[in-house]
Structure 1
Amino acid sequence: MKVIILAGGGGSRLFPLSRTLFPKQFLKLNGEESLLAQTITRFLPMVKPSDMVVVTNQEYVHHVRTELILAKAQGAHILLEPMARNTAPAVAFAAQYCLEDLGCQPNEILYVTPSDHIIRPIETFAANVRQAIGLANMDKIVTLGIQPNHPETGYGYMQAGTPFSGGFAVQSFREKPDLKTAEEYLAAGNYYWNSGMFAFTIQCFMEELAAYQSDIYELVQSGLEGMKENFTLMPNISIDYAIAEKSQKMVMLPITAEWNDIGSWDAIYDVLDKDLDGNAVKGDCIPIECSNTLILGHSRLIAGIGLEDILVVETDDVIVVAKKGESQKVKDLVCELKEKGRIEADQHTTVYRPWGFYTVLGSGPGYKMKKIVVNPGEILSLQMHYHRSEHWIVIGGTAKVTIGVLEQMVHENESVFVPQTTNHRLENPGRLPLQIIEVQNGSYLGEDDIVRFDDRYGRS
């Protein structure tokens, strides 16, 4: 069995913690591990790291590598999608990768999973996976379903039909319903939430792809390199729409482990520990006469007085306040921010790079201040800016700095000036993180004013 972990999605329903450049799968919401690391760890008792394929994109690859190291799964494969085209092309890409690069046979089982769910306990989930593998070996496409415990409008549903070997034939798929319809599904008892997890043999998947999504199948026939070159021709379609809703081989297996896709702040509230008044509180927060309320603080004191059934989520640049039950509309907020060109929709004030990270400390007309942290042994690209100069002050560690043809070591409490339109590079040759304060001055301070001449990480 090969485990295909889909980790390329952007996600917007957990804004402001989740952003385009730092989506949900990298968040640490219920412990010290990110959701991606938890996903990897979940499968380690079942397969070796070399039997895992993490499908992501160039923007997230350094995050994925970090999480693989933290999960002690460095042997896992990272497959980079040329561009985002939803789950059907992603799974087809991964299946062809398994055939060509990993030497899999057509009867190899692929277990496809999102990277941003909470599932526990692992032992119960492992039993569900083994059962799914048994059904997949019967030439079935298996999807795992969750028995609803409340009328949820944020999930798609599957209607269970005829019993089949511990599962059910899928009678129909239903879109996210309104509240009245969700209540009817709950009362009927034979509707399950769609978890987004699938199991099938590569051969079965390819046959169904040929039958129901011939445009993707034809691109698959061009081989892995052909798929990379022509990925722009892939339709933007989910595996649910492309195959699951049409196939006659669909079997739904009810999952008996505890499952939560934490796809909204209401769902986050459900999984967090609560006080005697039903409040879930994290960070520097003081609730006074509050009940059934979520308060997540990050960079300042958050005080709530007399709140009931309210969600408050704070980062250092955004505060979101919503009524419980309305958090699915956070996605609408993100769409509006994108339409207005607001940078908050895409990135935090802290932005991660392959070499480390930087945090914007402040900005205004003609200036921007950052704290930059470069990991030991890492090096920024050799670059130049047309519209700004930079002043670097070392506050921790030792920097190796190149400015024009001059190369020098800069120590704590020392500084250097980088003139506009001058080639420069920053490196950490030491064993401790290099920390500098960067002050930018110029008429334009956007991150796209970077001309790279040489880069260890292959960025253009």
Structure 2
Amino acid sequence: MTNIILCGGSGTRLWPISRTLMPKQFVKLFNDKSLFQLTVERNAKACDHQFIVSNAEQYFLALDQLEEPGIHSTFNIQHSTFLLEPVGRNTAPAIALACLNIDAEEIVLVTPSDHLIKNETAYLEAVSTAKLAAEEGNLVTFGIEPTYPETGFGYIEAKSRDSEKLEVGSGKFSVLDVRKFHEKPNAETAQKYLDAGNYYWNSGMFCFKAGLFLDELKKYAPEIYEACLEAYENEQEITQGQLRIRHEDMMAIPDESIDYAVMEKSDKVKVIPCDIGWSDLGSFDALYDELEKDENGNTLNDNHISLDSKNNLVIADDRTIATIDVEGLMIVDTGDALLVSKKGSSQKVKEVVKHLKEKGSELPKIHLTAHRPWGTYTVLEDTPGYKIKRIVVKPGKRLSLQKHYHRNEHWIVVSGTATVTVGNETKLIRPNESTYIKMGEVHRLANEGKIPVVLIEAQVGEYTGEDDIVRLDDDFKRN
């Protein structure tokens, strides 16, 4: 069985910890592991191959997290395939493009990468049941048994538990016919769904044969199928295990979810009601419910000093946060942005992100620390006329051969030995040594050593934006 992992989405409702270039699935929220890593670990116990659908920027982030020691030992990274989308076109195209690259008879388990599942035993049992049902020619979805009238989820309406039950596997989980999919309801309708007993939260997880899904897609959404087929036929293999879709082909595919394209129309859909400790962590209120807390209901954080404060969500990376006589607040500090909100209002965070985008701010896109395929950089100071960064280059990696039109750069090595190319000259720069790159000069920074290179970069110029880079050669095939 192959696990198709969907890594799309920017997680705007968890801003400022979630950004476009570091969305919530890659943020390490639980025991120094990300939701993406937990997804891979969990599904590696049921699947022998991972097919990861991601955009090009997140590919290197995902690869880094897969190669971390604690994660790498749980599965064979050689059994992972990446499909890189230049732009997202929703879940139906993403799943279709993955299935086109998989044998038609292969059972696929489709999962988002940003969900939390706490009852792994029950989850794996549900997956085993879904696999058996999929082998019988069904499109299986996982319905979460609701515990309260949630208005933020779509619902799946099933037929009777008794009369329509499909007997497969151990019998611990029912496999029911689906009557209808429902959009996010208002509070009154959500309560009716809860009272009815045959409505389930739509988890966005599926299990089916790759070929069956494509057949149903061709039947009910032929325009999506044909566009995906053309994109698949034109896809490029950059390296073994890394497939890339052309931008023009991706833009030609209609933007549609799997629910609208197939699941709401097909007569082969089954649902497995599940109680697996599931959360989509779609808001800070949901995150608060899942994090460990002290005796006063405050989330545990070494940087938090609490005086007569209770039931607060406090997330802080570096700075100390002190609260006095406050209750029911959400305080999220990331160095370059501070969010303060009442609990229960976290769904409005996306409105803040919208406002920032309208202003042209970079805050929705990137953190002070940015991850690149060669390492990381952290912005220490950004003022008109100059910018100061801390750059870390991983062993054996190098930045692109590049030049800038609007800035000069000074590099001071703090640790490690940097191999620096400026113009036609290449030299080694050691700790406490520096070099200067004049505006317009072709240059490159590399680490040929065994330990990370750490340096301080001072940029001076009228414009120091990240788009002032002209790449002449790049190991990672970036534009």
Q: TM-score scaled to structure 1, two decimals? A: 0.95
| Alpha-carbon distance in structure 2 between the residues aligned to 1:137 and 1:346 | 42
Question: Compared with structure 1, are the counterparts of its residues 20 and 221 closer, same or farther at alpha carbon in structure 2 (3 Å cutoff)?
Answer: closer
| Alpha-carbon distance in structure 1 between the residues aligned to 2:280 and 2:184 | 15
Contact 2:228 2:253 in 1 (8 A): no
| Alpha-carbon distance in structure 2 between the residues aligned to 1:158 and 1:304 | 42
Question: Compared with structure 1, are the counterparts of its residues 283 and 138 closer, same or farther at alpha carbon in structure 2 (3 Å cutoff)?
Answer: same
- Shift in Å at residue 221 of structure 1? 4.1
Matched, 1:231 2:250: yes
- 1:377 maps to 396
Residue pairs, 1:107-118, within 5 angstroms? 107-118=105-116
Q: Secondary structure at the match of 1:13?
A: helix
2:83 to 79, 84, 100: 79
Alignment: residue pair count: 452
- Shift in Å at residue 415 of structure 1? 0.9
Residue pairs, 1:256-271, within 5 angstroms? 256-271=275-290
- 2:45 maps to 45
- Shift in Å at residue 172 of structure 1? 1.7
2:222 to 203, 214, 226: 214
Q: Secondary structure at the match of 2:352?
A: helix
- Shift in Å at residue 52 of structure 1? 1.2
- 1:159 maps to 157
Residue pairs, 1:6-405, within 5 angstroms? 6-48=6-48, 51-70=49-68, 71-72=71-72, 73=75, 74-75=77-78, 76-98=80-102, 104=103, 106-162=104-160, 163-165=164-166, 166-222=174-230, 224-226=232-234, 228-229=245-246, 230-405=249-424
Q: Secondary structure at the match of 2:149?
A: coil
Contact 1:309 1:324 in 2 (8 A): yes
- Shift in Å at residue 138 of structure 1? 2.2
Q: Secondary structure at the match of 2:300?
A: strand
Q: What one-letter code is carried by the residue in structure 1 that aligns with 2:165?
A: F
Question: Compared with structure 1, are the counterparts of its residues 283 and 13 closer, same or farther at alpha carbon in structure 2 (3 Å cutoff)?
Answer: farther
TM superposition outliers: structure 1 runs of 4+ over 6 Å? none
Contact 1:283 1:296 in 2 (8 A): no
| Alpha-carbon distance in structure 2 between the residues aligned to 1:221 and 1:19 | 32
Contact 2:93 2:228 in 1 (8 A): no
Deviation per CA, 1:424-448: give whole Å up to 9, x if none: 1111121111111110000111111
| Alpha-carbon distance in structure 1 between the residues aligned to 2:323 and 2:9 | 33
Q: What one-letter code is carried by the residue in structure 2 that aligns with 1:189?
A: G
Q: Which runs of 5+ in 2 are unaligned?
A: 167-173, 236-244
- Shift in Å at residue 113 of structure 1? 0.4
| Alpha-carbon distance in structure 1 between the residues aligned to 2:287 and 2:357 | 24
Question: Compared with structure 1, are the counterparts of its residues 223 and 310 closer, same or farther at alpha carbon in structure 2 (3 Å cutoff)?
Answer: closer
- 1:101 maps to none
- Shift in Å at residue 223 of structure 1? 6.8
| Alpha-carbon distance in structure 2 between the residues aligned to 1:24 and 1:456 | 27
Q: TM-score scaled to structure 2, two decimals? A: 0.91
Q: Secondary structure at the match of 1:304?
A: strand
| Alpha-carbon distance in structure 2 between the residues aligned to 1:201 and 1:379 | 42
Contact 1:283 1:298 in 2 (8 A): no
| Alpha-carbon distance in structure 2 between the residues aligned to 1:91 and 1:286 | 46
Deviation per CA, 1:244-286: give whole Å up to 9, x if none: 1222221110123211111111111111111222221324001
Q: What one-letter code is carried by the residue in structure 2 that aligns with 1:151?
A: P
| Alpha-carbon distance in structure 1 between the residues aligned to 2:231 and 2:100 | 7
- Shift in Å at residue 109 of structure 1? 1.1
| Alpha-carbon distance in structure 1 between the residues aligned to 2:183 and 2:342 | 24
| Alpha-carbon distance in structure 2 between the residues aligned to 1:126 and 1:183 | 29
| Alpha-carbon distance in structure 1 between the residues aligned to 2:116 and 2:231 | 35
Q: What one-letter code is carried by the residue in structure 2 that aligns with 1:427?
A: A
Q: Secondary structure at the match of 2:14?
A: coil
- 2:238 maps to none
Q: What one-letter code is carried by the residue in structure 2 that aligns with 1:182?
A: A
| Alpha-carbon distance in structure 2 between the residues aligned to 1:184 and 1:256 | 20
Q: Secondary structure at the match of 1:180?
A: helix
Question: Compared with structure 1, are the counterparts of its residues 196 and 347 closer, same or farther at alpha carbon in structure 2 (3 Å cutoff)?
Answer: same
Contact 1:164 1:251 in 2 (8 A): no
Select between 199-208 and 355-364 the one with higher mean Cα deviation: 199-208
Q: Secondary structure at the match of 2:475?
A: coil
Q: Which runs of 5+ in 1 are unaligned?
A: 99-103
Contact 1:219 1:226 in 2 (8 A): no
| Alpha-carbon distance in structure 2 between the residues aligned to 1:444 and 1:133 | 55
- Shift in Å at residue 122 of structure 1? 2.4
Contact 2:100 2:229 in 1 (8 A): no
| Alpha-carbon distance in structure 2 between the residues aligned to 1:325 and 1:65 | 35
Q: Secondary structure at the match of 1:41?
A: helix
Deviation per CA, 1:326-369: give whole Å up to 9, x if none: 11111121111111111101000111111000000011110000
| Alpha-carbon distance in structure 2 between the residues aligned to 1:443 and 1:212 | 54
